[in-house]
Amino acid sequence: MVDHRLSEEYEALRESVQTFARKEVAPVIGEYYEREEFPYPLVEAMGRMGLFGLPIPEEYGGMGGDYFALCLALEELARVDSSVAITLEAGVSLGIMPIYRFGTDEQRRTWLPRLARGEVLGAFGLTEPGGGSDAGATRTTAVLDGDEWVINGSKAFITNSGTDITGFVTVTAVTGQRPDGSKEISAIIVPAGTPGFTVAKKYSKVGWSASDTHELSFDNCRVPAANLLGERGRGYAQFLATLTEGRVAIAALGVGLAQGCVDECLRYVGEREAFGRTIGEYQAIQFKLADMELRAHTARLAYYDAASRMLRGEPYKKEAAIAKLVSSNAAMDNARDATQIFGGYGFMNETPVGRFYRDAKILEIGEGTSEVQRMLIARELGLRA
């Protein structure tokens, strides 16, 4: 049976995040964005609301919800601002989920309660300066020396990796060679402040300006052997699973941005006048808004579908890639149309649509570029290169 209505619990969560986004995020986020400053008070507030712990069981300090609940929260946040939304998205999907899904019991008990309360952020370092799409080409190495891993290498564009509350970065590294000659890749937890682990100055970005992104380097960085995430040699499979799940979350974030464009424009076209009438009375503007609503709506259905397959335990790789692709296209197209509808004001940083325009592009790049999504969809159709 097909039923896309939200249950009362999902609806209550959606409404409470919407209220938070409109009342607490919207009035202040523009200034953080302009100053390229991480919004600690907002992250703290999201922690108090339990948003970081949404898909984590109560025994680890979470809310006992599921990944779809996280997606709903992300959509409502991104409807107002994407820097705050990506901080939550990366915090959960890249910081928390690998520990929850693949960590040892000890690692879960050490990290999950504080992560779930938003007191500590975890990051995930997969991309390297030499390339992100070809994630198997990892050059960072980790060599076991007695009961310690010695890590050397660098990672690029890592979200939440340099805040005052960053607790660790899980990094992928080559830990050996398999019998067939391919690389053995493992994931290792590196706590913030470990000697030899350096966080470079934050990047100055085109968008997501109030989120935290750094290049990281590891120079004979030693961590206990027990910091291996789950099993040795499982790093590649772990990050593939992490990214598949993350795509659904990023799709929700894109839908939020696309819907936020509709929200802003609906208000504006009823106020702005040109040639003696409000611009909302012109059919050219109405058609733009109809197309924008259509994109947000279809992208939402795509991520609902991927998320429901995920929750039912069915294969959802293709649907996750489709959702991410549809949603990032919707976000880009809506941001462009919204900026056009706002005219000159749309090009000003202080208007939300100005931010939406700058924030939309990364959705076609992060957690797998649009080309990578097409590669995944083609592969799921049985096509081989």
Ligand X SMILES: Cc1cc2nc3c(=O)[nH]c(=O)nc-3n(C[C@H](O)[C@H](O)[C@H](O)COP(=O)(O)OP(=O)(O)OC[C@H]3O[C@@H](n4cnc5c(N)ncnc54)[C@H](O)[C@@H]3O)c2cc1C
Q: Which is nearer to ligand X, 265 or 321 (CB)?
A: 321
Q: Give the up-direction half-sphere exposure of residue 128: CA atoms within 13 A in the CB hemisphere.
A: 19
Q: Between residues 65 and 246, which has the closer beta carbon with respect to ligand X?
A: 246
Decide: is 292 part of the binding site for ligand X (CB under 6 A). Answer: no
Which runs of consecutive H residues, i.e. helices, occur in 215-345? 235-269, 283-311, 317-342
- Nearer residue to ligand X within complex by CB, 127 or 351: 127
Q: Does 94 help bind ligand X (rule: CB under 6 A)?
A: yes
Q: Which of 49, 97, 158, 192 binds ligand X (CB under 6 A)?
A: 158
Q: Which stretch binds ligand X (CB under 6 A): 60-68, 102-110, 123-131, 246-254?
A: 123-131
d(CA 177, CA 89): 33
Distances (CA, A) of 225 to 106, 149, 221, 238: 13, 6, 12, 18
First-residue to last-residue Cα distance in the chain: 37
| Residue, CB closest to ligand X | 132
How far is Cα 259 from Cα 296, in angstroms, rounded to an integer?
Answer: 6
- Pair of tokens at residue 221: 């960085």
Single out the segment in contact with ligand X by CB under 6 A; choices: 130-138, 142-150, 247-255, 272-280: 130-138
User: Minimum CB separation from ligand X for residue 135, in Å?
Assistant: 8
User: Helices (DSSP H) in 58-131: which residue ranges?
Assistant: 67-78, 82-89, 97-102, 105-116
Burial of 14 (0-12, 13-18, 19+ CB in 10 A): middle
Whole-number Å distance between alpha carbons of 200 and 204: 12
Q: Which of residues 357-376 bind ligand X (CB under 6 A)?
A: 362, 365-369, 371-372
Q: Provide the token pair at 158.
A: 């890592």
Query: Using an 8 Å Cβ cutoff, are 241 and 253 in contact?
Result: no
Crossing angle of helices 67-78 and 235-269, rounded to 10°:
40
Residue 252 CA to residue 258 CA, distance in Å, equals 10
Where in 210-249 is the site for ligand X (CB under 6 A)?
A: 213
Residue 300 amino acid letter: R
Report d(CA 303, CA 166) in Å as an integer.
29
Residue 20 or residue 208: which is nearer to ligand X going by CB? 208
* Residue 125 or 280 having the CB closest to ligand X: 125
Work out whether 159 is an interface residue with ligand X (CB under 6 A): yes
Span from 127-135, 192-200, 297-305, 333-341 in contact with ligand X (CB under 6 A): 127-135
Q: Binding mask 138-157 vs ligand X (x if CB under 6 A, - otherwise)?
A: -------------------x
> Which residue numbers are catalytic?
367
- Name which of 131 and 270 has its Cβ closer to ligand X: 131
Interface residue with ligand X, options 21, 25, 126, 258 (CB under 6 A)? 126
Applying CB under 6 A, among 125, 246, 346, 354 the residue interacting with ligand X is 125
Residue from 91, 132, 167, 346 touching ligand X (CB under 6 A): that is 132
Return residues touching ligand X (CB under 6 A): 90, 94, 123-127, 131-133, 157-159, 205, 208, 213, 362, 365-369, 371-372
